[in-house]
Amino acid sequence: MIASVKTPLILNVDDTEAARYVKSHVLTRAGFEVIEAGTGSEAIARAQVEQPALILLDIKLPDINGFEVCRRLKQDPLTKTILVLQTSASYIASADKIRALDGGADNYLFEPIEPEELVANVRALLRLGRVEQELREADRRKDIFLATLAHELRNPLAPILTAAELLSRLNPNPSSAQALAHETIKRQTKHLIRLVDELLEVSRIAKGKIDLKRKPTSVQAVVQAAMETASAIMAQREHKVSVQLPAEVLWIDGDSVRLAQAVGNLLRNAGKFTPPHGHISLTAEAQENEICIRVEDNGIGLSPENVLAVFDLFMQAEDVLEGASEGLGLGLSIAKGLVELHGGTISAASGGPGQGSTFEIRLPSITGEAPQPRHAVAPDVDASSYRVLMVDDNVGAVDMFSMLLEIEGHTVFKCNTGGDALAQVGSVNPQIIVLDIGLPDMSGLDVAREVRKRPGMEKVVLIALTGYGRKEDKERASDAGFDAHLTKPVTYQTLMSTIESLEPAKRQ
Q: Does residue 383 register a pLDDT over 70?
A: no
Q: Could you report the per-residue pLDDT of 237-258, keeping only the tens digit for each? A: 889 999 998 888 889 999 888 8
Per-residue pLDDT, 382: 45
**Pairwise pLDDT comparison (460 vs 325), residue with the higher score:** 460
Burial class of 477 by CB neighbour count within 10 A (0 to 12, 13 to 18, 19+): buried
**What are the pLDDT digits (tens) for 201-242?**
666 676 666 778 888 989 998 998 888 878 878 888 889 999
Task: Tell me what percent of the residues of the chain surpass a pLDDT of 70.
Answer: 87
CA distances from 419 to 424, 483, 486 (A): 9, 21, 22
pLDDT-derived band at 176 (thresholds 50, 70, 90) equals confident
Q: Over 352-380, what HEC string results? A: CCCCCEEEEEEEEECCCCCCCCCCCCCCC
Whether the pLDDT of residue 351 is over 70: the answer is yes
Domain ranges of the chain: 9-113, 138-206, 215-364, 387-507
Confidence band, pLDDT 50/70/90 cuts, at residue 198: low
pLDDT tens digits for 95-140?
Answer: 989 999 998 999 999 988 999 999 999 999 999 988 888 888 887 7
Can you give the pLDDT at residue 117? 92
Phi-psi region of 222 (alpha: psi -120 to 50; beta: other; left: phi over 0): alpha
How high is the pLDDT of residue 398? 83
pTM: 0.49
Q: With bands split at pLDDT 50, 70 and 90, how would you rate the model's confidence at 329? A: low
387-507: CATH topology is: Rossmann fold (3.40.50)
**Architecture of domain 215-364 in this structure:** 2-Layer Sandwich (3.30)
pLDDT higher than 50, residue 1 = no
pLDDT band at 395 (very low <50, low <70, confident <90, very high): confident
pLDDT at residue 427 is higher than 60: yes
pLDDT at residue number 200: 66
Q: For 9-113, CATH number?
A: 3.40.50.2300
User: Does 200 or 33 have the greater pLDDT score?
Assistant: 33
pLDDT for 377: 42
Q: Give the amino acid at 359.
A: F
Query: What residues contact 111, with CB distance under 8 A and at least 6 apart?
Result: 19, 87, 88, 89
Other Cβ atoms closer than 10 A to 367: 8
- SS3 breakdown of the chain: % helix, strand, coil, rounded to 5? 45, 20, 35
Confidence of residue 359 (pLDDT cuts 50, 70, 90): very high
**Tens of pLDDT, residues 35-94:** 999 999 999 999 999 999 999 999 999 999 999 999 999 999 899 999 999 999 888 888
Distance between CA atoms of 143 and 315, rounded to whole angstroms?
Answer: 21
Out of 377-386, 407-416, 422-431, which region has the weakest mean confidence (pLDDT)? 377-386
**pLDDT, the chain, mean:** 84
Where residue 374 falls among pLDDT bands split at 50, 70, 90? very low
Q: What is the pLDDT of residue 381?
A: 41
Of 60-69, 87-96, 177-186, 400-409, which range is least confident? Answer: 177-186
**pLDDT for 125:** 94
Q: φ, ψ for residue 34 (rounded to 5)? A: -125, 135
- The segment with the largest mean pLDDT, out of 8-22, 208-222, 455-469, 470-484, is 8-22
Q: Are 258 and 212 in contact (CB under 8 A)?
A: yes
Q: Do domains 9-113 and 215-364 have the same CATH topology?
A: no
